Amino acid sequence: MVTPAPETPASAAPATGWQRWRGPLLFASVCINLFLVGVMIGGAVPPRHRPHWFDRWHAAGEPGPGPRAGAPGMQAMPGGAGPALAFRQAVQSLPASDRRAFEESMEGVRPDLQRSQRELRQARQRVHDIVRADQFDKQAMLAALSDVRQRQEAIQQRIHAAATEALAKLSPESRRQFADTMIARLRP
């Protein structure tokens, strides 16, 4: 007597097309977003809190995240600057007193941002661990990616709020100069 093979549920069917690429594409998207947030945060860090290699890197004229306005080799970037670079250059274009006030306002969020960055790195590590596991857990991966997204968004919101507070302290002329520099640096 032959027993019929048990029916396989639809969820056990082999992945096809979009289903097969959804996980890796999501992971790639998260990695790109993490990189961009890191560049934005790096550009918002005042010069005295940057790592020692940062200044040597830019003094040599090598392009990198968040260079200061006037760094050798950075004026003629093809395609315009990215938002974090344009933001940093706009801050550097302010008169010295306004620039100090702006950077002091941003400095107030530094401890919170450092804590948030540590938590974001831990969330990224969880994603990495899930991807490397022998058995891939799709639900755990989706939850971990969601956690990364939420942490990135929280960091970005905090930076935006701090920048808004800092801009509110500037004179109208300085805000116009800031805006004009941002637009000029973002133009291709």
- Domain residue ranges of the chain, discontinuous segments joined by +: 129-188
Count CB-CB contacts under 10 A for residue 22: 13
Look at 27 and 168; give whichever has higher pLDDT.
168
Considering only 7-16, 47-56, 73-82, 168-177, which range has the smallest mean pLDDT? Answer: 73-82
What is the C-alpha to C-alpha distance for residues 185 and 1, in angstroms, rounded to an integer? 78
* b/e map 154-166, b = 16+ CB within 10 Å: ebeeebeebbeeb
Instruction: Find the farthest-apart pair of alpha carbons in the chain and give their distance in angstroms, rounded.
Output: 91
Predicted structure pTM score: 0.52
Q: Which helix (H) or strand (E) holds 17?
A: helix 17-44
pLDDT in tens, 102-140: 888 888 888 898 899 999 999 999 999 999 999 999 999
Residue 17 C-alpha from the chain's centroid: 30
**What band does 85 get if pLDDT is binned at 50, 70 and 90?**
confident
Above 70 in pLDDT, residue 64? no
Which residue has better confidence, 84 or 97?
A: 97
Question: In whole angstroms, what is the distance from residue 170 CA to residue 149 CA?
Answer: 32
